[in-house]
Amino acid sequence: MKLVLTGSTGFVGSKLLTSLSSYDVTVIGRTKPKSSLNYKFYQAEINSAADYLPALSGADILIHSAARVHIMDDNVTDPLAEFRAINTEGTVNLAKQAAEAGVKRFIFISSIKVNGESTSLNNPFRPDGEVAPQDPYGVSKAEAEEGLKNIAKETGLEVVIIRPPLVYGPNVKANFSTMMKWINKGVPLPLGAIHNQRSFVALDNLVGFIIRCIDHPKAANEVFLISDDEDVSTSELLRKVAKAFGKKALLLPIPVWLMTSVAKLVGKGDVANRLFGSLQVDSSKARELLGWKPVITMDEQLKKTADTYLEHEKTL
């Protein structure tokens, strides 16, 4: 089976590439990934104008994980236009050419932000729930999904849409990496009395599910939400991270209402929402329809993540 992968230098894509050794893989990307896997490389940007047909010729499956990712404090003049150029227009261009080339299935790594930013407690997002993106990144992903569904109807291309929440694992970046640094250094954090519930997905679990979708007949033209099925509060997550480092988290029980008020005063209301609000997903469809189950627990993935972090720290 011939498979084409985009985003192979990214956090999810790089792990995917190392997990596809049993396939004939062609990578589409801006730069060639460093990997021991024997693969073909086709250099191209993800945009509305690129020609992908040489890379797609003879391919059976395309996994599209490349994206302009969510950026904190994005300072471009028109963020929505920037996100659309890659995440929407680039995805639609790629899918149209995939259909033209005779690719059977297009697996799209979308985002839970298509559903929205938060849920009420124990009222999780579901695959058939309302689409309500609230930021440019989420809007661009939602529009890409709509474009893919239209192409599927017009051409017969099978489309599989996967919306993960926050993905964590070895070499994770951004806020999760910052949190790990604070915990490892023993910094006291005012986050000891948070009783929200948030879904996460381990990198190993997400990659395992993507691979399950490659040839499972029941995955065709479906939308899936995926998680570890281990929802935790922010306080619980911090304690689990500390445990992974072999430490005890220093968490101060500061009232959430006080921290929320301060965050809003300094213009960090969105940060407060991620720390204190709930965001849960219902991944039962993945288990029931495809027979999928997590391959690793949250504690196990956090231990692998912490070990990788410490190894990296030794080399600095």
What tens digit of pLDDT does each residue of 289-313 get?
A: 999 999 999 999 999 999 999 998 8
166 close to 149: Cβ distance less than 8 angstroms: no
Distances (CA, A) of 8 to 66, 188, 247: 7, 37, 34
Yes or no: say if 183 and 249 are a contact pair by the CB < 8 Å rule.
yes
The pLDDT value recorded for residue 69 is 84
Counted residue by residue, the chain has a size of 316
Name residues of the chain where pLDDT drops below 70: 70-74, 316
Angle at 5 between CA 175 and CA 93, to 5 degrees: 95
Neighbouring C-beta atoms of residue 116, cutoff 10 Å = 17
How many other CB atoms are found less than 10 A from the CB of residue 222? 18
Please give the Cα distance from 5 to 27 (Å, whole number).
Answer: 5
Contacts of 152 (CB under 8 A, 6+ apart): 106, 158, 159, 221
Residues with a known catalytic role: 137
| CA gap 185, 177 in Å, rounded | 12
- pLDDT at residue 141 in the model: 98
pLDDT of residue 168: 97
DSSP 8-state assignment for residue 112 = G
**Does an H or E element contain 222, and which?**
strand 222-225
pLDDT value at residue 17: 94
Q: Is 200 helix (H, G, I), strand (E, B) or coil?
A: strand
Q: Kind and range of the H or E element at 23?
A: none
> What's the pLDDT at 183?
96
